[in-house]
Structure 1
């Protein structure tokens, strides 16, 4: 399978953050404990493989996570989001409120709803933060989906029955993962996977997510927050599977109610004429 390379923004982000703080290369290099030549080389992108200590050094100095320094094109963020980032509200650290999504809008400035087709699922996992890739996805303008960012994902498998295999799940983008109520159904994009998962999500105090299925045949499991890339809260689903007239559970419940009525009728005292 052909891999999709993700663009790295480390060099341009370091230069952008330095200038934003009003520091010359010489002043920044002194604070960072680097030579001016090394900092200039990193900012120019000539240092293709900085040492892990360098990543940690820059992350600590600017108070920005390594993931953000690598993956987010910071100059494209608005001033409000940059201030949120600088205040410690980093999406890669705590689920944050930092918008790193590429979006498109219609003529009325309403956000489109992108659809991730089956054939693009592996590409989405690798290029979810790439504006060009997101722009290539099919888009819809749905008037009933306003006031948020929505995306449609096709699900595969029976782990979330009675939502059937092949359904399209519409999710709203979750900015603060830690605020999700326990057992919230969500689409979750995880690192190192060629697919996203549809699960009931519960935030655990130790910085993990518990992912559970509606189908009891599938066991719950936990993932570290560092493994989570995106979370989309369930909004609706559509399916081409026509439902049965009556489910097995509803038939059982109806039979129980009939039995209860029969028992009550048999135990009621008879009047004597």
Structure 2
């Protein structure tokens, strides 16, 4: 997705765009995110695209602005019209520690059969994560050492729900299959199947037909069990 080049349409637009660029730079710093991380989050072609927003060389589309407002937990109006660097940080802890439903190892069997049941999801316990991601999020507890040293046994991996057509081959995902498996792996896409690859070399790759995939969750962050 390419940024929209800014057009000089008047003083009011320039003033608003100045708030957008300064707010984006300020908020990214507050959340300790790199240009690469924000570009990946937004589906941009590279960090230069996001840098263009911060430099005021391009204006984000309304779709991108909505994503950014959701991620930074501010209103669209605040993001565009106000200098957020001057906003009092009274609710920083609440903003930075949203809660997401967590599927522990012992609840996996129930999840595979009940993941479409709102009552089941509502009764899952929650965990706090550092920042609010954009989209539907869920945490899954990892069973085993197949992704060590990257993610330890018992860690909680937080994922953002995606459709299969949003898959980026070579990235890490939580994959839920119709035979009851919930695995966290690096995924390589084939025409009709997915290769699920462990980081730990002692585990061989596993091939799964695409039609057997029930859910996919793109890696967002993980919390090691303490």
Higher relative contact order (CA 8 A, sep 6+): 2
CA-based RMSD: 2.3
Q: Report if the CA contact (8 A) 1:113-1:149 is conserved.
A: no
Gaps of 5+ in 2: 1-74, 76-94
Structure 2 CA distance for aligned equivalents of residues 146 and 213 of structure 1: 25
Q: Report if the CA contact (8 A) 2:195-2:205 is conserved.
A: yes
Q: How does 1:4-83 map to 2 (within 5 A)?
A: none
Structure 2 CA distance for aligned equivalents of residues 135 and 161 of structure 1: 31
Helix, strand or coil for the counterpart of 1:231? strand
User: 1:204 maps to what in 2?
Assistant: 190
Which one of 81, 100, 108 corresponds to residue 113 of structure 1?
100
Helix, strand or coil for the counterpart of 1:121? helix
Q: Report if the CA contact (8 A) 1:178-1:203 is conserved.
A: no
Structure 1 CA distance for aligned equivalents of residues 143 and 217 of structure 2: 16
User: 2:154 maps to what in 1?
Assistant: 166
User: 2:119 maps to what in 1?
Assistant: 132
Deviation at 1:204, TM superposition (A): 1.1
Runs (4+) of structure 1 exceeding 4 A deviation are: 140-143
Deviation at 1:161, TM superposition (A): 0.8
Q: What TM-score does the superposition give when structure 2 sets the normalisation length?
A: 0.53
Structure 2 CA distance for aligned equivalents of residues 166 and 135 of structure 1: 22
Deviation at 1:208, TM superposition (A): 0.9
Deviation at 1:233, TM superposition (A): 0.7
Q: How does 1:92-241 map to 2 (within 5 A)?
A: 113-139=100-126, 144-162=131-149, 163-175=151-163, 177-193=164-180, 195-205=181-191, 207-240=192-225
Q: Report if the CA contact (8 A) 2:142-2:153 is conserved.
A: yes
Structure 2 CA distance for aligned equivalents of residues 168 and 181 of structure 1: 22
Structure 2 CA distance for aligned equivalents of residues 238 and 143 of structure 1: 10
Kindly tell me the number of residue pairs found equivalent between the two proteins.
130
- Greater radius of gyration (CA): 1
Structure 2 CA distance for aligned equivalents of residues 167 and 200 of structure 1: 16
